[in-house]
Amino acid sequence: MKKEKWYFPKYYPSFACKADACRNTCCSSWRIPVSKEEFHRLVTMECSKNLNRRIQNAFIVPEVVTDEVYRYISFNWLGQCPIQEKGLCYLHREKGEEFLPKICRLYPRSLKRIGNYNVACCSSSCERVVEILYDYDDLEIVTEQMEETPQVFYSISYDGFRQIRSFQKILQDRSTTLLQSIIDICKIINDDEFDRDYDSDEDPLSAAILLLKRFSESNQILGKICDIVSERYGNDPSLYEKDRDAFEEAFPDWMTFFERVINNSMFYECFPFVDERADQTQVYKGLCICYGLLRLLCIANTYKDHRKDDLVDAVSSLFHLIDHTTFYYNVSLISGNAAIFLKL
């Protein structure tokens, strides 16, 4: 295979899955699509009786069948992929990585061709990636010749790629706050609409609680944190200010950590070209909501004893939603004054 130049965060080559040490494995509660070719290969391959039994019971038919989404991997009674047990994948162990469905082989990585550029990144929905970002100081993007094959193609011009990189640099500017950096990005995209949005009198906490109700089914951890948010702050909004102060004291580096996870997701999603249906104004609204929900969910999930694991779980559950659904497009349609989320 020919080597090509790739852009990627410095941590990318050293990422390693935590396997059975993972608290919230991606083999649980995820709708994993399998293509027609992969499905036929798996159900007819030579393997042990145990693996064959697991595979024959592993698929359900989607509502709309296509060659790319031909089956979904079903869940066992624990809500997990039936081919694995306690995080150990029997298919991987017996047949090797090359036999895994494409999505399992790749996750949490993404390999994109953006115009003439190759971009590799890992999603902040994986708890190991979030732990790496917690320990890193900076999301440094480096280049190297690599033998990788792009899986997703975006027709973005040279100027588009420069815009992706320039927004990243604004976010990384530590001479100002993360909040101000996000405001600067939003104002570059749509100054007038952002000001109108931001000056609204709407209460951000009530708006966020309402919005989270729409997402509580997205994944189990997110659902659990949504319940904490609505029970704790829905009844007594003053508790949010108290928890927010305690959070910032317990995690004094919260701002640079949030900068890295948001930046990582922006790079993963090619912000502001995240969804071809969403224009840039809709996309800036998604960024405001991402920042606000990130604060709210992390504050709510750590208020009891400020454990790092709870912080990581809150981040990965939110980016499970952001990185793997049409989040930016959806929130821009259902939220009113999205910029008020920056006040959370």
Q: Would you tell me which residues interact with ligand SF4 (CB under 6 A)?
A: 17-18, 22, 25-26, 107-108, 126-128
Task: Please name the helix (run of DSSP H) or strand (run of DSSP E) that holds residue 114, with its range, or none.
Answer: strand 109-114
Find, among 107, 117, 115, 106, the residue nearest to 6 by Cα.
117
Q: Taking the complex as a whole, how short is the minimal distance between the CB of residue 27 and ligand SF4, in angstroms?
A: 6
Give the separation between CA 189 and CA 182, rounded to whole angstroms: 11
Residue length of the chain? 344
Nearer Cβ to ligand SF4, position 17 or 146? 17
Q: Taking the complex as a whole, how short is the minimal distance between the CB of residue 40 and ligand SF4, in angstroms?
A: 26
Q: Taking the complex as a whole, how short is the minimal distance between the CB of residue 123 and ligand SF4, in angstroms?
A: 9
Residue whose pair of structure tokens reads 């991997």 in the numeric block: 73
Q: Are strands 117-122 and 4-9 parallel, antiparallel or unpaired?
A: parallel
Residue 84: phi, psi to the nearest 5? -110, 165
Give the separation between CA 323 and CA 196, rounded to whole angstroms: 28
Residue 42: phi, psi to the nearest 5? -70, -45
Find, among 215, 222, 337, the residue nearest to 284 by Cα.
337
Q: Taking the complex as a whole, how short is the minimal distance between the CB of residue 171 and ligand SF4, in angstroms?
A: 24
Residue whose pair of structure tokens reads 């989040």 in the numeric block: 327
What is the biggest distance separating any 2 CA atoms in the chain, rounded to whole angstroms? 64
Q: Taking the complex as a whole, how short is the minimal distance between the CB of residue 107 and ligand SF4, in angstroms?
A: 6
Nearer Cβ to ligand SF4, position 30 or 247? 30
For residue 7, which amino acid is it?
A: Y
Nearer Cβ to ligand SF4, position 28 or 172? 28
Nearer Cβ to ligand SF4, position 26 or 34? 26
Q: Taking the complex as a whole, how short is the minimal distance between the CB of residue 235 and ligand SF4, in angstroms?
A: 33
Give the separation between CA 308 and CA 298, rounded to whole angstroms: 10
If one counts every other C-beta atom within 10 angstroms of the C-beta of residue 166, the result is 13
Nearer Cβ to ligand SF4, position 127 or 243? 127
Q: Please state the separation of Cα 223 from the chain's center in Å.
A: 16
Nearer Cβ to ligand SF4, position 84 or 335? 84
Q: Taking the complex as a whole, how short is the minimal distance between the CB of residue 169 and ligand SF4, in angstroms?
A: 28
Nearer Cβ to ligand SF4, position 18 or 214? 18
